[in-house]
């Protein structure tokens, strides 16, 4: 199993550009989520999904869109990038979405917005 994969690993954008961060998992997990990690802030939840076709907002959803058309994929779209979105983005998946389940994280995407 590849686990959770994320692409790209690094990305530089200009203010106002849009892009999609890709996330895929091959563990047949129902629950997937996106976090951003900023220095001194830990991880903050952006959006999450409890299954295909179902998404919900997390702690910091503004400026981001998600969709979940398949169990495997959970892309994160930045509609109009801003410097405040410079961060490291992690995708995670877990079996059932219960908060005692193990969350498996991808390797992250380091995004810089100029």
Partner 1 sequence: TQLLEQSPQFLSIQEGENLTVYCNSSSVFSSLQWYRQEPGEGPVLLVTVVTGGEVKKLKRLTFQFGDARKDSSLHITAAQPGDTGLYLCAGARTGRRALTFGSGTRLQVQP
Which residues lie near partner 1 (CB under 8 A)?
4, 33, 35, 40-45, 48, 50, 58-59, 90, 92, 97-100, 102-103, 105-108
CA distances from 105 to 18, 63, 87 (A): 24, 22, 16
* Nearest approach, Cβ of residue 48 and partner 1 (Å): 6
* Nearest approach, Cβ of residue 50 and partner 1 (Å): 7
CB closer to partner 1, 14 vs 42 = 42
CB closer to partner 1, 14 vs 98 = 98
Neighbours of 12 (CB within 10 A): 11
CB closer to partner 1, 5 vs 15 = 5
CB closer to partner 1, 57 vs 70 = 57
Q: If we measure between CA atoms, which residue out of 67, 61, 62, 64 comes closest to residue 49?
A: 67
Q: For residues 21 and 107, is the Cβ–Cβ distance under 8 A?
A: no
| Contact partners, residue 39, CB within 8 Å, separation at least 6 | none
What radius of gyration, in Å, describes the C-alpha atoms of the chain? 13
* Nearest approach, Cβ of residue 44 and partner 1 (Å): 7
* Nearest approach, Cβ of residue 82 and partner 1 (Å): 23
């Amino acid at each position: 199993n590849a686990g959770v994969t994320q692409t790209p690993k690094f990305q530089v954008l200009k203010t106002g550009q849009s892009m999609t961060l890709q996330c895929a998992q091959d563990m047949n997990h129902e629950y997937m989520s996106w976090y951003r990690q900023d220095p001194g802030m830990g991880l903050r939840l952006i959006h999450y999904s409890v299954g295909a076709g179902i998404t919900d907002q997390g702690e910091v959803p503004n400026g981001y869109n998600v969709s979940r058309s398949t169990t495997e994929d959970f892309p994160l779209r930045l509609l109009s990038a801003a410097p405040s979105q410079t961060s490291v983005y992690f995708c995670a998946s877990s079996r059932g979405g219960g908060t005692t389940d193990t969350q498996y994280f991808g390797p992250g995407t380091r995004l810089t917005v100029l």
